[in-house]
Amino acid sequence: MRRFILPFLVAVFGFSGAAVAQTGDAILILDASGSMWGQVDGQTKISAARKAVDSILSKWKTTDRLGLMAYGHRSKGDCSDIELVVPVDAFDAEKIRSAVRRLSPKGKTPMADSLRAAAQALRASENKATVILVSDGIETCSPDPCAVAAELKKAGVNFTAHVIGFDVTDPAAKRQLQCIARATGGVYLDASNASGLENALGKAVEATQGTKVQSQAPVRPEAEPDPLKGRNFRGLARLAAGADPISGESGLAWIFFKVRPDGKKGELAASVYGAPANGEVPPGEYIVEVNYRQVTREFPFKVEKGKLTELDVVLDAGYVTSEGAIEGAGKADRVTWDVHNVNGAYVATDYAALPRFVLPAGNYVLTLTKGASKTRKEFSVAAGDSINVSLTLDVGVLAVSAVYAADGPKIEQGIAVEINRPAQNNADKPQWIATQYDAVSRFEVPAGSYEVVVSVGHAKRSFRAEVKSGDTARVNFNLDAGIAGIRAPEGSTIEIYSAERDINNRRAWIATHYDSDLSVALNAGNYVVVVIVKGDKKSEHAISVVPGKRVEVSVK
């Protein structure tokens, strides 16, 4: 499996001497392969690339002409998918920026052939050309892009490559990128994250303008260490037959189980991690369980004494990411992603803003949830795919607090806030959504109208609230209530009724308590408190509850 590349190659025409600049033709070559849906610093690599392109455009000389080339943006697995999207013309930052935004990553990363294509497109000019290559990995189509760079240089093409290694963890990939820079007389720069990428690009642009920039590559190639020294096992895993081996993935596990007499998995014998995996395994017959995120495959395997043995497996799987968005607010965060197969069986859950799944080839449903809001999309993933499933969620925030009266105080404890979808007609009941008990209760719900029921003690009122997607509606409701403090002898029963009698001369019962010292919230109005002492002595007390105030009743 290829080590995924985020390159964009910028052919920038340089200078004749250190002091006098020429007007130049330039081509920006942007990787739009499927690997661009990978992640760095909480964003997709295509997003980081767009920001990096912006950083270059803001520094570009308006006297230079600029075009845009992209590859991997039209088809999967096609090493010839290279296109001059914007022909070389007078510098137009917005035209380049808009074209980059429209790119949708799909395919492979033909880095070497892109170098050839850029050189061919620029041959009509007599100007010198500089290429800025930003990559997070290794070439996936040509056997040796370094040799191609040297070939172009030897052929007399005015060609210097300044190379930036973006989050490169594969030593072989870093050596290859450093070689391209050395072969063309350019500089190599490391960028460990998205902000580092923009900084390195700025230095690379300075280098094209004649400023001396220190290369971070050794003057001579470093000797390649032998990863198999002292080891007898090497494991290679591919997402699909014929695909490049997976590289740079430390989370891929190779678990060795001894084989029982019945041919099934027995005792655990060894574990090796990585892609590719290099390890020492005792000789013997095994069933090797290969685990890669949501994919598990088993393979029979024999390790022979004194011999290097290699296991090259096909996982029949693909990468799936998603760029979730909140309608009206942009990027989704604090969300839950769930994957089920089309039959409803659970597969995986991720809580990252940008999830990444490795799924066996098949048909699935991706669900994005935030609070009470949910959206879903069916999708298919084929072996070797690297796809993005975009979802947009309709969700806003309803933040509810309450006060006893118009001028306070605020209700801090004992509050319950229930939200419901209003009934559609008189025959229906409101649909309950959620209940919270905080002084400020926050609900994440789809846009729309809601019935909000706020209660504390025996005080309760209903309100209406509107929620817009991507927005926070903060409401502070007046419960129009007060507190009744009732003291009675130990062992008393306290009953509370409304003061008003109905047509049958009955008062509406509110509550019964068995506390001798009671403090309870009631809606503003008139009430009757009935105190029963030790089951036989009964007394009635009329009270009026005033919003935001406390009324006392004491019975001896």
- How far CA 535 is from CA of 495, 510, 514, 531, 532, in Å, comes to 13, 20, 12, 10, 6
Which CATH code, of 3.20.20.70, 1.25.40.10, 3.40.50.720, 2.60.40.10, is assigned to 481-554? 2.60.40.10
Contact 144, 115 (CB under 8 A): no
Of the CATH numbers 1.10.3430.10, 2.60.40.10, 1.10.10.60, 3.40.630.30, which one belongs to the domain with range 396-478? 2.60.40.10
As a whole number of angstroms, the distance between CA 446 and CA 43 comes to 25
Q: Residue 172: which H helix or E strand, with range?
A: helix 171-184
- Residues 8-208, CATH architecture: 3-Layer(aba) Sandwich (3.40)
Interacting residues of 317 by C-beta distance below 8 A, sequence separation 6+: 239, 240, 292, 295, 358, 359, 360, 361, 381, 383
> Is residue 395 a contact partner of residue 326, using CB atoms and an 8 Å limit?
yes
Residue ranges covered by each domain of the chain: 8-208, 233-315, 318-393, 396-478, 481-554
Short-list 387, 384, 350, CA closest to 369: 350
> Cis omega before residue 409 (within 30°)?
yes
* Predicted local distance difference test score (pLDDT) of residue 126: 66
AA letter at 426: N
Length of the chain equals 556
**Can you give the pLDDT at residue 478?**
98
CB 90, CB 103: distance < 8 Å? no
**Can you give the pLDDT of all 556 residues of the chain as single tens digits?**
344 444 444 444 333 333 334 456 777 878 888 778 878 887 888 888 888 888 888 877 777 777 888 888 888 778 899 999 988 888 899 999 999 889 888 888 788 888 888 777 777 666 667 778 878 777 778 778 888 888 888 877 777 788 888 888 777 788 888 988 898 888 899 988 888 888 888 888 788 777 899 999 888 877 666 665 678 999 999 999 988 888 877 789 999 999 999 999 999 999 999 988 999 999 999 999 999 999 999 999 999 888 999 999 999 999 999 988 899 887 888 899 999 999 999 999 999 888 999 999 999 999 999 999 999 999 999 999 988 998 999 999 999 999 999 998 999 999 999 999 998 887 788 999 999 999 999 999 999 999 999 999 999 999 999 999 999 999 999 999 999 999 999 989 999 999 999 999 999 999 999 998 999 999 999 999 999 997 678 999 999 999 999 999 999 8
- For residue 187, give the amino acid letter: V
Dihedral (Cα; 432, 434, 438, 439), 10-degree rounding: -50
pTM: 0.78
Residue 313 zone, left/alpha/beta (φ > 0; ψ -120 to 50; rest): beta
Q: Determine whether domain 318-393 maps to CATH 3.30.1490.190.
A: no
Alpha-carbon torsion, ordered 423, 426, 427, 428, to 10 deg? 10
- Predicted local confidence at residue 228, as pLDDT: 59
**Topology agreement, domain 8-208 and domain 318-393:** no
Amino acid at the residue 115 = L
For residue 105, the model assigns a pLDDT of 85
Quick check: bond before 276 cis, omega within 30? yes
Q: What's the CA gap between 148 and 154, in Å, rounded?
A: 10
pLDDT at 57: 85
Contact 437, 415 (CB under 8 A): yes
CATH topology of domain 233-315: Immunoglobulin-like (2.60.40)
Q: Which of 32, 202, 41, 47 is nearest to 132 (CA)?
A: 202
- The structure tokens listed for 309 are 């043995």
- Tokens standing for residue 84: 């001059």
Q: In sequence order, which residues have a C-beta less than 8 Å from that of residue 319 and are 6 or more positions away?
A: 34, 37, 38, 239, 356, 357, 358, 385, 386, 387
In DSSP terms, which residues pair with 260 in a beta bridge?
Answer: none
Confidence at residue 152, expressed as pLDDT on a 0 to 100 scale? 82
Residue type, 198: E
